[in-house]
Amino acid sequence: MKTIDPSSVRLRATVAATLVVAVALGAITVVLVVVLRGSLTGSADAEASRRAGIAVQAVKGGITAEAMPAQPLVATRELVTRTETLFITDPDVFIAQTADPPLADWAPVDSYAVAGERLTTAEGGATMLYARVPLTGTEQALQTLNGVLLPGVPALLVLVAAMTWFSLGRALAPVAAIRAKLAHITARDLHERVPIPRSRDEIAALATTVNDTLDRLEASVETHKTFVADAAHELRSPIATLRARLELAEPSELTAEALTDVARLQSLAADLLLLARLDAGEPARTTDVDLGQVAMEESLRIGRPPELDLDLDIEPDVVVRGARGHLDRLVTNLVDNALRHASTRVLVRVRTDGDRAVLQVHDDGPGIPPEQRETVFDRFTRLDEARARDAGGAGLGLSIARDIALLHGGTLTAEDGGFVAIFPATH
């Protein structure tokens, strides 16, 4: 299952959009409930005032309860005047002799809206007439609203998050394609280009800019490769001439040292020329090659100090598809590196592992620290310990060996005690 990166733009944008909508919906919900409650309560207060006014007019006109718009007869309260006794039979009308009536039991604040009118009798007495309107409709409307909002708001937030996630996924899909393509473009693949989406937006502009940059980079690398190849090729002739003259000169300590330096120059020029050819991707003539035979012949051909033991563990008939000259160079570079850093023993092993051919070159030297096992394959890279012990080499041998392994569809990695190269086996 693919994990979601917490720092991804898609996730952060989805969370931000959902939070913004959540805050907006929360504010709208609170305002809606407050406004609706106020509106319904105001309507109930207005209805209570209307009823109180009707009741006052009825009392002043001497209308009995039967003539008043009222609820069913439930209770009887009477207002006694000099001339008559009026009976108030409406349970939602209350007459009090004081301005502060005890209405808590008759009209609880949470259940009724209450309005009062001053009532003056013919004899000059003053009382208060109150009317009440139940708030049942208000509470039912608010409950209905809450019943819609409570499940509706979370569902809407889920929908917003899902739509934002889906929309951003589609919008950022070209970016993922560009990133994936760039991740696979190496110095050998500079001719490849990232896909440009059909949309004429910023992502399409980014893809176009990346391709333009790759164009410039490819041109620059090609110029560099051509220069290196030309320089290495042109250096071979004067270096060979210089070496021939030194070999014909009067032997001395100076000429011996000069011959050593010239030999190193020749090796460096040959390495640079080979790297230029590998970088250029020149096709090599490939045949079925016995990797074990190559490892044996090249290991024995290299001169080794008498104090070092060279052990060969070669499995027969380990055949790979490749260029014999390139594979010779790979084995030579690995064995030469092991001989220069071993203490007493070098082991060269060739075996099969399923459908893979495995070449291992180990030595009992100090080894390569784990944090530097990729650095050693960089060009012109030599570890500090190697510089102290090894006066030869320019730091190109391992880089050439890895390029050859990659050219043959294999890998070359450093491990405890040495190096291992893996190739597809043909038998």
pLDDT tens by residue, 117-150: 877 655 555 567 788 888 888 888 888 888 888 8
DSSP single-letter state for residue 65 = G
Pairing state between β 418-424 and 93-96: unpaired
Does pLDDT of 366 surpass 60? yes
Q: Count other Cβ atoms within 10 Å, centred on residue 110.
A: 6
Burial 68-89 (b: 16+ CB within 10 A, else e): bebeeeeeeeebeeeeeebebb
- Weakest-pLDDT range from 218-227, 269-278, 312-321, 388-397: 388-397
Mean pLDDT for 335-350 is 91
Contacts of 301 by beta carbon, 8 Å cutoff, 6+ apart = 332
Query: And the tokens for 72?
Result: 């069913």
State what percent of residues in the chain have pLDDT above 90: 21
Task: Give the residue with greater pLDDT, 423 vs 202.
Answer: 423
| Beta bridge partner(s), residue 354 | none
CA neighbor of 312 nearest in space, from 328, 297, 296: 296
pLDDT tens by residue, 76-126: 344 444 344 455 667 777 776 654 555 677 778 888 888 888 776 555 555
Does pLDDT of 378 surpass 80? yes
Host H or E run for residue 135:
none
DSSP single-letter state for residue 59 = H
What is the three-class DSSP state of 120? Answer: strand
Query: And the tokens for 177?
Result: 């394609």
Task: Give the residue with greater pLDDT, 342 vs 116.
Answer: 342
Residue 412 phi, psi dihedral angles, 5° rounding: -140, 120
- Ordered by where they begin, the domains of the chain are 9-139 (no CATH), 202-278 (1.10.287.130), 285-424 (3.30.565.10)
Mean pLDDT (the chain) is: 81
pTM for this predicted structure: 0.53
